Chain A
Amino acid sequence: MSDIKKFMYVNRKAPYGTVYALESLEVVLIGAAFDQDVSLAFVDDGVYQIMEGQDTTGIGMKNFSATYRALGDYEITKLYVEKESLEARGLSVEDLMELTWEDEDEDYEEKPSIILVSSAELAEVMAGQDVVLSF
């Protein structure tokens, strides 16, 4: 298994309400051990997964949003967010968590992980993938 493939995890659902977001994250974290070229995409209600200030006390569920902040430590540094999905929900990039990674080649400079893309741009990125897992 020496060849590196491009893996993209497509997150389409809200973080709570169904288990897809939580269990998708579990795949991403396990998959990080396989040294592949990994990116995540957030589309449709999936953009809610990385919103700042999530509070689950009212619904009795575990708030797992902090895990997205740890993705950089797993060398997962490309989080594509679809602009149209944000706009359709009255959101902008300022509503999202500040997700960063440390570039060890540049003295551990903190760089943003979120890449805002249009639907057409995301389609292009997707077309360049070897494996697309959709959740």
Chain B
Amino acid sequence: MKFTIQVNEGPYQHQTADSAYQFTKAALEKGHEVFRVFFYHDGVNNATRLGLPPQDDRNITKLWADLAEKYKLDLVVCVAAAQRRGMLDENEAKRNGKDSHNIHPAFRISGLGQLIEGGIQADRLVVFGD
């Protein structure tokens, strides 16, 4: 089966991001296809490359990045939600005259159309949120 995953909450505060990650990982390990993971609302914060969780805790951004590398996952961060919350990649930072950027290179920034396309292309869109 082909899935698109939507993640609506940030890391750590809610279990949502962990659940989404566990689901995505399990689906891939079972041989299913994940067309795209789309990060929306505070979910965009999963993409920060500057998070420093304690050594003995999970690093959710790194978990996503490792999974993406292993399975060539398409991790997409909504540009509008990201800009509102100060999440920028290098290009967006430059374009908006900001002095730094914080998006992990395993993620890419794009528009909401990517979520709709995910809904159209996948057999199931699974939303993780509150």
Chain A positions within 8 Å of B, measured between CB atoms, are 1, 3, 5, 7, 19-20, 23, 26-27, 30-31, 33-34, 36, 130-135
Chain B positions within 8 Å of A, measured between CB atoms, are 6, 8, 40-41, 80-81, 111-113, 115-117, 119-121, 125, 127, 129
A132 CA / B124 CA spacing, docked (Å)? 9
Chain B's closest residue to A130 (CB) is B119
Q: How many CB-defined contacts (below 8 Å) exist between A and B?
A: 51
Pick from A1, A27, A33: contact of B120, CB below 8 A: A1
A80 CA / B39 CA spacing, docked (Å)? 27
DSSP majority for the B interface? helix
- In the complex the two chains form, is B112's CB within 8 Å of A134's CB? no
Pick from B115, B121, B129: contact of A27, CB below 8 A: B115
Chain B residues, CB < 8 A from A19:
41
Chain B residues, CB < 8 A from A133:
6, 115, 119, 125, 127
- In the complex the two chains form, is B119's CB within 8 Å of A7's CB? yes
- In the complex the two chains form, is A1's CB within 8 Å of B117's CB? yes
A69 CA / B122 CA spacing, docked (Å)? 31
